[in-house]
Amino acid sequence: MARLPLCLAAAVLPMLAACAEFPEIDAAERAAAGPTLVPEIAPIDPLLARAHSLRDSSASPDSLESRAARLRARAARLRARDI
């Protein structure tokens, strides 16, 4: 029965030590990490307009048909290869 408090203390003490704060270590880590780069926040409307214009310009039926033909030819070449 005397082992139970000893085992409990052995389990709880490391947990309590893990909760401690060490300002010297935290300051050293921040100094070693250097400055933090913050991403620039851009308005979404111009990005969406650009995406829509790119999608509309590249979706012509001729370009889609030629791309499909190239992909079919590539698939045929890959099927013909011996592996």
Consecutive sets of 10 residues in the chain, 83 residues long: mean pLDDT of each? 78 80 81 79 90 69 86 95 82
Q: Would you kindly state where each structural domain of the chain is located, as residue ranges?
A: 3-33+44-80
Model pLDDT for residues 38-59, shown as the tens digit of each residue:
888 989 999 899 888 776 655 5
pLDDT at position 75 is 96
CA pair distance 9, 31, nearest whole angstrom: 36
pLDDT reported for residue 79: 94
Model-wide pTM > 0.75: no
Residue given tokens 């400055």 in the structure block: 35
> What pLDDT was estimated at residue 74?
96
